[in-house]
Amino acid sequence: MLRFKKFGLGILFVLLFLVGCSNTQEGEQVAVSGGESSGKYPNGPIKVIVSYSAGGSSDIGARTLMTYVEKELGVPVVVENKPGAGGWVGWEQLLNEEPDGNTIALINTPNLMTGYMDPATNRQQSLESFDLIANHITDPGVIAVNKDDDRFNSIEDVFEYAKNNPTTTTSTGVLGDDHIASLKLNKNFNTQFNAVHNGGAGESITAILGGHVDVLFANVGDVTTLYNDKEIKVLAVMDNQRSELLPDVPTLAEAGYEDVVSWSSRGYAAPKGVDPEKLETLRNAFEKAINNVEQAEIMKESGLTVNYLNHDDYLEELQLEEAGIDDIKDLLNW
């Protein structure tokens, strides 16, 4: 029995040796193939930096979209909230990452541009610092108040009060869309809106619901559900036309306060220098995810209007918005 075991093991070693020699070329091919497979993109989780606090419309919109992006890319896509500095805590982190396609970020306007256009920040970044992927959302601004605040039942009430009294308003950061809107209104209508800056829309909502500020400056996507549930009073939309999501709410122009509009666009970008093939993979995945009908309906139910723009059209929109900020330097003491 022992002799049989030794004999069997000997035969096994000979066979393994012969198979190994005869398949050397095939084995090398397998190794090469394995190397190519390991270089496939994406081959691991992708991180998405959201530069605002959890619970706001930016965060909700990003998390919803990422479930569809995951399906297109075939890997986990993980949202990481990095609020602060009007969004630039997160964007600074993005631009310090390796441009390997594994970290991207939600970018919001006008905070993106004001963060590097403001001379006080001394930032050297610009639109050229980013590889743009696509625009996802364009979200008009709104003015709202606490549902139990008897001082304000119309936008006219708010403006009359603010002309005669210092009036606190929410803001998602210095020189964000909310802050800029309040400055424009002060200049055009002699109001005394004083922005109270915070880390994101979620904090703004908490502030107005808790009665800690007089007026909420936010976006349609932040307030639609609260408005439908009668948790707040939305008194005006800061756009040239009414929002289909808030059809009963007048525009500022309808109430006689013309020439002030405000919105936030929300898209995605990577740090400059991502490999073109990787960038194209991301752009294709986002295009399909953003244009997904189911995704658009979910966005609408959340109060967000999908507005897909490819990277070229997105760049053009950002450049126009940059030019618009440049036109109000006097308001910003630049």
Within a domain: residue 27? Answer: no
Give yes or no: residues 119 and 166 share one domain: no
Give yes or no: residues 222 and 133 share one domain: no
- Residue 26 burial by CB count (10 A; 0-12/13-18/19+): exposed, middle or buried? exposed
Residues 71, 292 contacting (CB under 8 angstroms): no
Q: How far is CA 91 from the centre of its chain?
A: 11
Give yes or no: residues 282 and 221 share one domain: no
Q: What pTM did the predictor assign?
A: 0.73
Please state, in angstroms and rounded to a whole number, the distance separating the CA atoms of residues 289 and 100. 21
Give yes or no: residues 230 and 271 share one domain: no
Q: How far is CA 263 from the centre of its chain?
A: 13
Please state, in angstroms and rounded to a whole number, the distance separating the CA atoms of residues 243 and 53. 25
Given a cut of 70, the residues of the chain with pLDDT beneath it are 1-38
For the record, the structure tokens of 169 come out as: 């308003």
Cis before 99 (ω within 30): no
Can you give the residue range of the structural domain that contains 280?
46-138+264-326
Within a domain: residue 23? Answer: no
- For residue 124, give the CATH number of its domain: 3.40.190.150
Within a domain: residue 258? Answer: no
Residues 125, 187 contacting (CB under 8 angstroms): no
Please state, in angstroms and rounded to a whole number, the distance separating the CA atoms of residues 289 and 311. 15
Give yes or no: residues 81 and 223 share one domain: no
Query: What pLDDT, on a 0 to 100 scale, did the predictor assign at position 39?
Result: 74
User: For residues 212-237, b (16+ Cβ closer than 10 Å) or e, as one string?
Assistant: ebbbbbbbbbbbbebbeeeebbbbbb
Q: How far is CA 201 from CA 51, 84, 171, in A?
A: 11, 12, 8
Within a domain: residue 4? Answer: no
- Looking only at the bridges linking them, the beta strands covering 46-50 and 193-197 are unpaired
Q: Which helix (H) or strand (E) holds 301?
A: helix 293-301
Nearest to 159 by CA among 191, 207, 111: 191
Residues 219, 263 contacting (CB under 8 angstroms): yes
Query: What pLDDT, on a 0 to 100 scale, did the predictor assign at position 34?
Result: 32
Within a domain: residue 303? Answer: yes
- For residue 182, give the CATH number of its domain: 3.40.190.10
Give yes or no: residues 169 and 91 share one domain: no
Domain boundary among 181, 204, 238: 238
Give yes or no: residues 77 and 96 share one domain: yes
Within a domain: residue 110? Answer: yes
Within a domain: residue 13? Answer: no
Give yes or no: residues 210 and 152 share one domain: yes
Within a domain: residue 84? Answer: yes
Count of domains forming the chain: 2
Give yes or no: residues 171 and 206 share one domain: yes
* pLDDT tens sequence across 296-308: 999 998 888 899 9
Torsion, CA 62, CA 178, CA 242, CA 57, rounded to 10: 20
Give yes or no: residues 158 and 302 share one domain: no
Beta-ladder partners of 268: 106, 134
Give yes or no: residues 68 and 154 share one domain: no
Please state, in angstroms and rounded to a whole number, the distance separating the CA atoms of residues 266 and 50. 11
Helix (H, G, I), strand (E, B) or coil at 212: coil
